[in-house]
Amino acid sequence: MNTHVPLEHVMLLAAALFAIGLAGLLARRNLIFMLVSVEVMLNAAGLVFIAAGAYWGQVDGQSMFIFILTMAAAEVAVGLAIILQFHWRHHHLDADAAATMKG
Amino acid sequence: MYELLWLVPALPFAGFLVIAAGGRRLPAAAAGWTGCAAVGIPAALSLVFAAGFLFAPPEGHAHTQVLWTWIGTETLRAEAALRLDALSLTMTAVITVVGFLIHIYSTEYMRGDADFRRFFAYLNLFVAAMLVLVLADNLVLLLLGWEGVGLCSFLLIGFWYGKRENAMAARKAFLVTRTGDVALLLAIFLLVRETGTANIADILARAPEVFAEGSATANAAALLLLGGAIGKSAQLPLQVWLPDAMAGPTPVSALIHAATMVTAGVYLIARTHGVFLLAPDVMFVVALVGAATLLLGALAALAQSDIKRVLAYSTVSQLGYMFLALGAGAWSAAMFHFMTHAFFKALLFLGAGAVITALHHEQNLHRMGGLRKKLPLVFWTFLIGTACLAAVPLVTSGFYSKEKILWDVWISPYGGPGFWIAGATGAFLTALYCTRMVALVFFGEAKTEVSERPGGRVSFVLVVLAVWSLIGGGVELPHTFAHVKVFSGFLAHTVTTVVELPPGLDWLLWLLLGIASVLVFGGIAVGWALYRGGEPPPILRRAGVDAARRGAHGGFGFDTAYDLLFVRPFTALARANRADIVDRAAAGTAYSARLLHNILSATQSGRLRWYSATIAAGVILILAIALLT
């Protein structure tokens, strides 16, 4: 069965996801939620790759998404480690209160 | 034998190096004798050269020794070359011989001074610089010696720099002579540009082709040279440094006045006389400066109370005579007076030094007196010196040289009776202040006790100089006395003869000699009548006379005028510009860098969300640009 979703719809969905992620990143002060928002943005980008790969019938889109998944896993690992360290030092997760390294 | 010429300036310089490098490791006596030998050997050499020039002159009456090429560019070529001719030989002989005697005198005079070695190192450097100046074959090397002399005068006038006045006097001498040096430097630039060479002989040879007589360039070159000369030779209006230069030790004053430094200006004009002959207007200016200076110096000398300042102003006045002679084109008369003046002025300064030492460093004439009996040798030698300075007829060398100047000035196409009158008036004033000085120092009642008598070396030097001061005039006599023209004949090979003797004027020469002699004796008589008691005469207390005396005592307000005209505006400007306006450019660069830094560092807020917002905005901006263009 080949339900044909138009490319524009996928693109709009991806843009909406990206905007939601960005809004979350900017609006949230908790580091965990900021990390989650970054993940949402990453998946928006991944969705664009998948849709574009399906549209042109190429495997490149899917392989790029595999890369993005791996990179996201690595990012989460590092990000969570940093957040743990952060919490251990500051006993909270407020990103704005941690502006001690300003120029 | 002329191959040894390089030793003449090299030995005093080597003496300087040895004493300076030796420092405290060198015993004081050894430093003293090194200093004497470093000038004594060149003195002997220059006498040998003089004998050679007199009896077997070298080809062209000049010997040039090229040591090495100093500056060798296409536009300017200056060799480190020494040129010995009659003019430089005369200077060299006087500098080394008188300098040698002053060195010997100093070994006794400066004994016990903590900086005895430094003194001799400076003295040697001074003589070396002066010898480079007179022996230089080109203007660039001459400038080296010229500036070296200026440096050494600074070092020696400020020798006892612990006292503020001495340091100030040294600075004043340096700055005032430097004013003249700027003119000399410009003159050298001009001459090198116009003639294409720095070699003095070549410049004199080419000058008539390059410059038209009386042209603006010739006048400018001669005026600039004159500017350099009046700075060094303490002529109007730059004479102010010389009286203050008395702050140095007395042998230094003797050296500056007799052998080195102040005669450099006279030498410079005599050396470049070819340029001056092409600028007759400037010749007139030279004579005018000389006449004005000799009168002013003599008047100022009349009112001084410090024995060394009397002598300083008398030097200013006598140098005025030399400039008068130069302005009249009487080169050999000027050089002749330079030679006799070197002998008797060295004698006077060294005699004054003996008096000052004998009286616990008392320099005030009015606190001296009665020394005739207590210091007979100093009295007689000093008397001979003052007689020469006053030009007492027939027996003194000063008479022959001064009369030669006066006679040449009268008959010269550049001179005239007007200048003769100025010179003769100066002779009267000179006799007057000489008598005043001798009467105040040696006659009347003793006011200060004699503590120390001059030792053997001081006495020896005084006697030698006194003898030369008496007989030194014998090398050149007025033609009505006898045909003795050794000196001018000697110089005639080097300088252009301008002053021709008109025939049939013997009666005029006799008349002028007679008038000048009467004026000299008149001056002595007036001086003796006024100061016989060793006290200032009552006439000086009258209001008008006292005001005039004060004016002359202060050197006629030149110092005050310069203070108002130059020193105060300069210090006011310096004070106003303490923050240094030029520095603002550099400070502005630093300021704007710091401003930019502040702006940029404000963006580094440390807020993570602010950074992501900026990145997002940047992405949107780039996308917008990519899509919309």
Question: How confident is the model at residue A2, as a pLDDT?
Answer: 55
Q: How far A1 CA lies from chain B's nearest CA (Å)?
A: 37
Q: Among residues B389, B346, B352, which one has the least CA distance to residue B368?
A: B352
- Digit-coded pLDDT (tens) for B500-534: 777 777 777 788 888 888 888 888 888 888 887 76
Mean pLDDT, all residues of chain B: 85
Q: Which of B605, B606, B609 sits opposite A26 (nearest CB)?
A: B609
A18 CB neighbours in chain B (<8 A) are none
pLDDT at residue B317 is higher than 70 = yes
Backbone angles phi, psi at B286, to 5 degrees: -60, -50
Question: How confident is the model at residue B27, as a pLDDT?
Answer: 84
Specify which residues A30 forms β-bridges with: A94
Q: What is the count of residue pairs from A and B with beta carbons less than 8 Å apart?
A: 35
DSSP letter string over B8-44? HHHHHHHHHHHHHHHGGGS-HHHHHHHHHHHHHHHHH
The model carries a pTM of: 0.78
User: Which residues 6+ apart lie within 8 Å of B531 measured at CB?
Assistant: B435, B436, B439, B440, B443, B537
More confident: B224 or B197: B224
Does residue A98 sit at the B interface (CB-CB below 8 Å)?
yes
In the three-class reduction of DSSP (H, G, I as helix; E, B as strand; rest coil), residue B416 is classed as: coil
Specify which residues B555 forms β-bridges with: none
Task: Report the alpha-carbon distance of residue B232 to residue B268 in Å, rounded.
Answer: 10
Chain B residue with the nearest C-alpha to that of A95? B608
Question: Residue B609 and residue A95: Cβ atoms within 8 Å?
Answer: yes
Question: How confident is the model at residue B534, as a pLDDT?
Answer: 67
- In angstroms, the first-to-last Cα distance of chain B is 94
- Select the residue from A18, A22, A29 to test the B interface by mutation, using most B Cβ atoms within 10 A: A22
pLDDT at residue A1 is higher than 50 = no
Q: Are B235 and B289 in contact (CB under 8 A)?
A: yes
Other CB atoms within a 10 A radius of the CB of residue B611 amount to 13
Task: Report the alpha-carbon distance of residue B342 to residue B389 in Å, rounded.
Answer: 11
More confident: B370 or B244: B244
Q: Are B299 and B323 in contact (CB under 8 A)?
A: no
Question: How confident is the model at residue B276, as a pLDDT?
Answer: 86
Q: Are B126 and B149 in contact (CB under 8 A)?
A: yes
Question: Residue A26 and residue B605: Cβ atoms within 8 Å?
Answer: no
Mean pLDDT of B324-344: 87
Task: For chain A, positions 11-30, list CB contacts with chain B under 8 A.
Answer: 22, 25-26, 29
Task: Report the alpha-carbon distance of residue B168 to residue B158 in Å, rounded.
Answer: 8
* Interface ipTM: 0.85
pLDDT at residue B184 is higher than 80 = yes
pLDDT at residue B369 is higher than 80 = no
Q: Are B362 and B302 in contact (CB under 8 A)?
A: no
B609 CB neighbours in chain A (<8 A) are 25-26, 29, 34, 95-96
Q: Which of B601, B604, B613 sits opposite A26 (nearest CB)?
A: B613
Backbone angles phi, psi at B237, to 5 degrees: -100, 20
* Domain range annotation of chain A: 7-92
pLDDT at residue A3 is higher than 70 = no
B601 CB neighbours in chain A (<8 A) are 103
- Digit-coded pLDDT (tens) for B20-53: 888 788 888 888 888 888 889 999 988 888 888 8
- Digit-coded pLDDT (tens) for B148-169: 998 988 888 888 888 888 888 8
Domain spanning A7-92, CATH architecture: Orthogonal Bundle (1.10)
User: Which residues 6+ apart lie within 8 Å of B493 measured at CB?
Assistant: B57, B61, B62, B85, B86
Q: Tokens representing B208?
A: 């008539």
Q: Are B226 and B322 in contact (CB under 8 A)?
A: no
The amino acid that residue B348 corresponds to is L
- Digit-coded pLDDT (tens) for B234-269: 888 888 888 888 888 888 888 888 777 888 888 898
Mean pLDDT of B619-629: 92
* Low-confidence winner among B100-104, B548-552, B584-588 (lowest mean pLDDT): B548-552
Q: Are B526 and B520 in contact (CB under 8 A)?
A: no
More confident: B212 or A91: A91
- Digit-coded pLDDT (tens) for A40-95: 999 999 999 999 888 888 898 899 999 999 999 999 999 999 999 989 988 888 88
pLDDT class for A101, splitting at 50, 70, 90?
low
* Low-confidence winner among A31-35, B355-359, B368-372 (lowest mean pLDDT): B368-372
Mean pLDDT of B338-360: 87
Q: How far A27 CA lies from chain B's nearest CA (Å)?
A: 8
The amino acid that residue B141 corresponds to is L
Question: Residue A102 and residue B605: Cβ atoms within 8 Å?
Answer: yes
- Select the residue from B600, B601, B610 to test the A interface by mutation, using most A Cβ atoms within 10 A: B610
Other CB atoms within a 10 A radius of the CB of residue B525 amount to 13
Task: Report the alpha-carbon distance of residue B613 to residue B603 in Å, rounded.
Answer: 12
Choose from A10-19, A91-100, B115-124 the range with maximum mean pLDDT.
A10-19
Question: How confident is the model at residue B600, as a pLDDT?
Answer: 87
Q: Tokens representing B537?
A: 């005469």
Helix H or strand E segment including B78: strand B77-85
Task: Report the alpha-carbon distance of residue B351 to residue B344 in Å, rounded.
Answer: 10
Mean pLDDT of B387-416: 84
For a pLDDT cut of 70, what percent of chain B falls above it?
99
pLDDT at residue B452 is higher than 80 = no
Specify which residues B485 forms β-bridges with: B476
